Amino acid sequence: MLETRTALGYASPSSEILILPEKLQARIIELAAQIDADYAGRNLIMICVLKGGVMFLTDLMRHTHIPHAIDFMAVSSYGVGARESTGVVRIIMDLATDISDKHVLLVEDIIDSGRTLGYLRDVLLARNPASLAICALLDKHERREVDVPLDYVGFEIPNEFVFGYGLDVDELYRNLPFIGVLRE
């Protein structure tokens, strides 16, 4: 893979920038304002799906003003090095918190086929939360195979492999402050 430098000065694979940092941040501020309004006075816990959701969660938390707890879950739906989910989702790390009677907001980097979020939704609903909503930064809508209700979506994006802002290319480039599209 050819490695270049972006106009922003970051080492990145050969790519185009799809969503600039300012645009990401502006949208996250809007999503946080919606979350503030929707969850005022409620016992909110944001659950981040590792590793891809971590940048999004931390920015979303920063802009959400109501009190809220956080917790993490790690799942694997890709084979090692693969770029499509296998359909078989495994929980690699479970929550530390009991979510029963809590208002849960599941925070994910991207929804593609919907298999990962569909599976996680079923797992979490079985634990009897007071409510469960889903917040995905990116939605590759045309790829959907499993219908999952989304409550908050950052951006609808085309059917292309994206990276940056938490999303990786073979575990690298999660640090980039923008969303890029591979051009190999």
Residue numbers at the binding site for ligand IMP (CB under 6 A): 52, 77, 85, 108-116, 161-163, 167
CA dist 5 and 3 (Å) reads 7
With CB under 5 to 8 Å by kind, the binding choice for 85 among ligand IMP, Mg ion, none is ligand IMP
Of the candidates 36, 112, 147, 168, the residue annotated as catalytic is 112
Is residue 112 part of the annotated active site? The answer reads yes
Tokens representing residue 5 in the block: 């430098």
Give the range of 46-54, 81-89, 92-100, 132-140 binding Mg ion by CB under 5 A.
46-54
| Residues in a beta bridge with 167 | 164
Q: Which is nearer to Mg ion, 109 or 139 (CB)?
A: 109
Identify the CA nearest to 108 among candidates 153, 62, 161, 144: 153
162's contact among Mg ion, ligand IMP, none, with CB below 5 to 8 A by partner kind, is ligand IMP
The two tokens of residue 107 are 């925070």
Q: How far is the CB of 50 from ligand IMP (least distance, A)?
A: 9
User: In terms of CB distance, is 103 or 115 closer to ligand IMP?
Assistant: 115
Contact between 118 and Mg ion per CB under 5 A: no
- For the four alpha carbons of 38, 43, 49 and 53, in that order, the dihedral sign comes to positive
Contact call for residue 52 and Mg ion (CB under 5 A): yes
Helix residue ranges per DSSP H, the chain: 21-39, 54-63, 115-125
User: Which tokens in the block code for residue 164?
Assistant: 């940056």
The residues carrying an active-site annotation are 112
